[in-house]
Amino acid sequence: MATDANNLPPLALDVEGVSHSYGSLKALDEVSLRVPEGVFAALLGINGAGKTTLFSLITRLYDNVTGSIKVWGHDVRRKPGPALAELGVVFQSRSLDRDLSVWQNLSYHAALHGMSRSESRARAEAVVDLVRLGDKMDSRVAALSGGQARRAEIARALMHGPRLLLLDEPTVGLDVKSRLEVVELVRDLVSKEGVGVLWATHLLDEIRPADQVTVLHKGQVLADAPADEISGEGTLSDAFLALTGREAAA
Ligand SMILES: Nc1ncnc2c1ncn2[C@@H]1O[C@H](COP(=O)(O)OP(=O)(O)OP(=O)(O)O)[C@@H](O)[C@H]1O
């Protein structure tokens, strides 16, 4: 892993003091978080915490008017092109075209990123192997299982070679086996490919003790530390309930 002059790994994502309101509702309040290179970071929050809003700001669906968001050093407002080129996203709702094959979905995405057809075919073959769908390239998405379709979405997000991957509750709706497969797959990408991952979830069993965890609740960061530090002597579940319960009662 590369390091900077201060011996710190470079940041795949650097969010500083970002707020966002929908009318009078403050969905994010001065949120800051960092995802270093090659780190699996969890954004943990119950429904309505603000996870999707934060993703919408990072991906430029919404404009962040306060604070700053940098992807591999590129400010998403001032340098959206280079920032978005480094960013792969798996949204909460399914977004592959079910009537098209895996290859057609991947090549469409590659064309949007300016990749040539030969370049995209070679890359597609590499990424379907990474997500263990090597034999499904020409299958229609409608013919895939839920877990396979999710892995195909991850393949699409990887097509243009991003070094930061955002996944918004990617295992929702999957059975236990498929959930575990998707989690393992993304962890492999972190360790083997060195991508930084921000994984939004409300499922505590997807988080490991060494993972960096940002607890988001009602738009505020209540904790930002490795999971085992947040857990202390107890479980992550107890710590999470204590944090969010106190905030909810305040
Ligand atoms: N387009 C919108 N207009 C108005 N309010 C919104 C909009 N989108 C989200 N909200 C509100 O902003 C807050 C944060 O929502 P957000 O979807 O970001 O949370 P979340 O953590 O992703 O929740 P979930 O897990 O349910 O998707 C919630 O109170 C939600 O009702």
Q: Write out the DSSP string of 21-57.
A: EETTEEEEEEEEEEEETT-EEEEE--TTSSHHHHHHH
- Identify the helix (H) or strand (E) that includes residue 136: none
Q: Any idea what DSSP says for residue 9?
A: P
How many alpha carbons fall within 13 Å on the CB side of residue 230? 28
Centroid of ligand 1 to alpha carbon of 180 (angstroms): 26
> If pLDDT is split at 50, 70 and 90, which confidence band does 230 have?
very high
CATH code that applies to domain 11-86+162-249: 3.40.50.300
Residues 34, 157, 76, 167: is their CA dihedral positive or negative?
negative
Q: Which of 24, 31, 43, 47 is the best mutation target for the ligand 1 pocket, counting ligand atoms within 8 Å of the beta carbon and taking the most?
A: 47
Q: Model confidence over 69-118: pLDDT tens digits?
A: 999 999 999 999 999 999 999 988 888 999 999 999 999 999 998 999 98
CB of 50 closer than 6 angstroms to any ligand 1 atom: yes
* ipTM over the 0.85 cut-off: yes
CB of 51 closer than 6 angstroms to any ligand 1 atom: yes
User: Residue 183 and residue 243: Cα distance in Å, rounded?
Assistant: 25
Greater pLDDT, 113 or 42: 42
pLDDT exceeds 70 at position 4: no
Q: Which of 19, 21, 25, 169 is the best mutation target for the ligand 1 pocket, counting ligand atoms within 8 Å of the beta carbon and taking the most?
A: 25
Centroid of ligand 1 to alpha carbon of 21 (angstroms): 10
pLDDT reported for residue 69: 97
pLDDT reported for residue 194: 84
Average pLDDT, the chain: 90
pLDDT exceeds 90 at position 214: yes
Where in the sequence of the chain do the CATH 3.40.50.300 domains occur?
11-86+162-249
> If pLDDT is split at 50, 70 and 90, which confidence band does 248 have?
very low
pTM of the model: 0.90
pLDDT reported for residue 250: 36
Q: Model confidence over 188-212: pLDDT tens digits?
A: 889 888 899 999 999 998 999 999 9
Please report the atom of ligand 1 found closest to the CA of residue 49.
Answer: 21
> If pLDDT is split at 50, 70 and 90, which confidence band does 168 have?
very high
pLDDT exceeds 80 at position 2: no
Q: Average pLDDT for residues 56-62, to the nearest whole number?
A: 94
Check if the beta carbon of residue 212 is closer than 8 Å to that of residue 20.
no
User: Residue 226 and residue 45: Cα distance in Å, rounded?
Assistant: 15
